[in-house]
A and B are shown apart, each in its own frame.
Chain A
């Protein structure tokens, strides 16, 4: 069964966002998303310093089944990307919420996070699909 940690927020397009203590936001894809995708074989990450808008494409994740866009959960500036995924895309499958993060944002407006889905609502959406 897929895991849905309580302390992070989710998007209906299957990304998660975690507000860190330093005010940055870490972004990845959910456990449910990696299960549905199957073995991830390629990840395309945004450029550092890129400005991204909420709900707009910020990367691509490709599995043996499908290629899917990754949308930024909130608006902001990309301050770090997880280069590990370039050589080891399977990290997304192995550790979607920790080692398999995609990028970190310096958010324009932290309150945008409030509009995202809490774990239970997102779980409900996934289980009804």
Chain B
């Protein structure tokens, strides 16, 4: 139901109006002033509250449901982190406030830089990228700056394994590189022989997501980094799946030169909320001169301060007007402090334990794992290729039926390498009972697929709307509400 359906001419929520101002600005050119009404719904305050509360109840969210959306790390983010970040002292601080009244804020960011350096094994961290995409861009821009600085302009290619995150090739192209895809083996590892064939003097770098989108850890990462480094290329680590290794393995130890982290995923800000995000970059010593500014420095005499291009003259530059999304950074800081060193280790452990437990249980009840011989990382893939052939029930049908059982669906049809797949990421914040509940629902859906497949293929049945026509939505894209 649209809010316009409940409107009544002349009705409004006057209590919400700003008091009328005497000095209405008259310097707006006539041509730019509107000559019609804004088209807002004529409804009361209570109608607005009920309408949007009702819409919010129809949402699936981590506050309401288990949300195993693979590759997205939809874990519970503690309220405490948000509470700390919204301390009025932080909220009221003006971004141009003098350093003397910003020491607490800067100290938090300085310490967050050191925690992130510690957990990733990187030599320097810049918190400024405003999102994962900007972090990736900054990372590859630093690779470019490094080669430029060494007058190595023959390096025009970025290598990307087919199991990498889809944003990687896009980032490489944005930075002016040509992308070469490296195939993976049947076990989900990078095809090392294929890599050796294409790596060479034109290789600027290799972008990897490890664990990859296949939900497995690259076992030959040491050899891979050796091959790329020997050829003069650099290694980029996409931090999309950092949750799997948090506190257990460091990208710096694996030989990566640069990486980004999605704080809005791994560090207490929900992913997929439409932003704001935060994608800090970490670099090895080699790339330390190029980090985006500002970063927070500390000087025993003067305290915390912004380090800019005067101290980092080879920086790739600023990425935004100030420095990153402060609220997200503070939430990440609070989260890191809440976890502590020991707690950070448990994130990776439990994320991995939960995924392996669930993969094992789903295999027991009859589902096919895409990589049965591999230990899962924080996520794993099941394939419904045989069910789709024998019963006509697809991965999308199962995903839709899960909604009826009260679960948000896993990621469907991604990665593209695996036919009819569901990518499942339970995260570390779910209890064994919740994991068992999901397995039970999946087993029940598999039984339905065998005995009454139309129940699955026509799902969902209990949602506010039935199966949406996504083909029509894509072919006849119409995003404008035309008011009658």
Report whether A39 and B471 are in contact in the complex, using a CB–CB cutoff of 8 Å. Answer: yes
The smallest C-beta distance from B425 to any residue of chain A, in angstroms, reads: 20
B416, B470, B475: the one within 8 Å of A89 (CB)? B475
Q: Give the residue among B413, B419, B471 with the most A Cβ atoms within 10 A.
A: B471
Chain A residues with Cβ below 8 Å from B470 are 64
A83-98 interface bits toward B, Cβ cutoff 8 Å, 1 = contact, 0 = none: 0000001100000000
Chain B residues with Cβ below 8 Å from A42 are 474
Report whether B474 and A64 are in contact in the complex, using a CB–CB cutoff of 8 Å. Answer: yes
Chain B residues with Cβ below 8 Å from A70 are none
A35-51 interface bits toward B, Cβ cutoff 8 Å, 1 = contact, 0 = none: 01001011000000000
Report whether A65 and B475 are in contact in the complex, using a CB–CB cutoff of 8 Å. Answer: no
B449-476 interface bits toward A, Cβ cutoff 8 Å, 1 = contact, 0 = none: 0000000000000000000001100110
Q: How many A residues are at the interface, by size bracket?
A: 10 to 19
Tally A-B pairs: CB < 8 A.
Answer: 16
Q: How many residues on the B side are at the interface (Cβ–Cβ under 8 A)?
A: 7
Report whether B413 and A41 are in contact in the complex, using a CB–CB cutoff of 8 Å. Answer: no
B387-414 interface bits toward A, Cβ cutoff 8 Å, 1 = contact, 0 = none: 0000000000000000000000000010
When C-beta atoms are compared, the residue in chain B nearest to A62 turns out to be B474
Is residue A115 within 8 Å, beta carbon to beta carbon, of the partner chain?
A: no
Chain A residues with Cβ below 8 Å from B416 are 66, 68
The smallest C-beta distance from A41 to any residue of chain B, in angstroms, reads: 4
Chain B residues with Cβ below 8 Å from A39 are 471
Q: How far is the CA of A65 from the CA of B416 in the complex (A)?
A: 9
Report whether B474 and A65 are in contact in the complex, using a CB–CB cutoff of 8 Å. Answer: no
Chain A residues with Cβ below 8 Å from B471 are 39, 41, 64
Q: Which of B271-289 contact A (CB under 8 A)?
A: none
Chain B residues with Cβ below 8 Å from A129 are 419
The smallest C-beta distance from A101 to any residue of chain B, in angstroms, reads: 19
Q: How far is the CA of A89 from the CA of B413 in the complex (A)?
A: 21
Q: How far is the CA of A65 from the CA of B413 in the complex (A)?
A: 6
Q: Which of A20-69 contact B (CB under 8 A)?
A: 36, 39, 41-42, 64-66, 68
B-side interface mostly: helix
B233-249 interface bits toward A, Cβ cutoff 8 Å, 1 = contact, 0 = none: 00000000000000000
Chain A residues with Cβ below 8 Å from B475 are 41, 89-90
Q: Give the residue among B416, B419, B470, B474 with the most A Cβ atoms within 10 A.
A: B474
The smallest C-beta distance from B43 to any residue of chain A, in angstroms, reads: 35
Chain A residues with Cβ below 8 Å from B419 are 36, 129
Q: How far is the CA of A20 from the CA of B416 in the complex (A)?
A: 33
The smallest C-beta distance from B409 to any residue of chain A, in angstroms, reads: 14
Chain B residues with Cβ below 8 Å from A41 are 471, 474-475
Report whether B474 and A66 are in contact in the complex, using a CB–CB cutoff of 8 Å. Answer: no
Chain B residues with Cβ below 8 Å from A90 are 475
Q: How far is the CA of A66 from the CA of B337 in the complex (A)?
A: 41
Q: How far is the CA of A39 from the CA of B413 in the complex (A)?
A: 14
Q: How far is the CA of A126 from the CA of B223 in the complex (A)?
A: 33
The smallest C-beta distance from B155 to any residue of chain A, in angstroms, reads: 21
Q: How far is the CA of A64 from the CA of B475 in the complex (A)?
A: 10
Q: How far is the CA of A68 from the CA of B166 in the complex (A)?
A: 12
Chain A residues with Cβ below 8 Å from B474 are 41-42, 64
Chain B residues with Cβ below 8 Å from A36 are 419
When C-beta atoms are compared, the residue in chain A nearest to B413 turns out to be A65
Q: How far is the CA of A1 from the CA of B174 in the complex (A)?
A: 41
Q: How far is the CA of A129 from the CA of B470 in the complex (A)?
A: 27
When C-beta atoms are compared, the residue in chain A nearest to B475 turns out to be A41
When C-beta atoms are compared, the residue in chain B nearest to A36 turns out to be B419
Chain B residues with Cβ below 8 Å from A68 are 416
When C-beta atoms are compared, the residue in chain A nearest to B471 turns out to be A39
Q: Give the residue among A36, A42, A64, A89 with the most B Cβ atoms within 10 A.
A: A64
When C-beta atoms are compared, the residue in chain B nearest to A41 turns out to be B474
Q: How far is the CA of A66 from the CA of B414 in the complex (A)?
A: 8
The smallest C-beta distance from A129 to any residue of chain B, in angstroms, reads: 8
The smallest C-beta distance from A128 to any residue of chain B, in angstroms, reads: 13
The smallest C-beta distance from B479 to any residue of chain A, in angstroms, reads: 15
Q: How far is the CA of A68 from the CA of B475 in the complex (A)?
A: 17
Q: How far is the CA of A66 from the CA of B470 in the complex (A)?
A: 13
The smallest C-beta distance from B480 to any residue of chain A, in angstroms, reads: 19
Q: Which of A64-112 contact B (CB under 8 A)?
A: 64-66, 68, 89-90
Chain B residues with Cβ below 8 Å from A66 are 413, 416
Q: How far is the CA of A89 from the CA of B475 in the complex (A)?
A: 8
16 pairs of residues in contact across A and B, judged by CB atoms under 8 Å? A36-B419, A39-B471, A41-B471, A41-B474, A41-B475, A42-B474, A64-B470, A64-B471, A64-B474, A65-B413, A66-B413, A66-B416, A68-B416, A89-B475, A90-B475, A129-B419
Nearest first, the 8 A-B pairs at minimum CB distance are: A41-B474, A39-B471, A65-B413, A64-B470, A66-B416, A41-B475, A64-B471, A64-B474
Known pairs A41-B475, A64-B471, A90-B475; list 13 more (Cβ under 8 Å). A36-B419, A39-B471, A41-B471, A41-B474, A42-B474, A64-B470, A64-B474, A65-B413, A66-B413, A66-B416, A68-B416, A89-B475, A129-B419
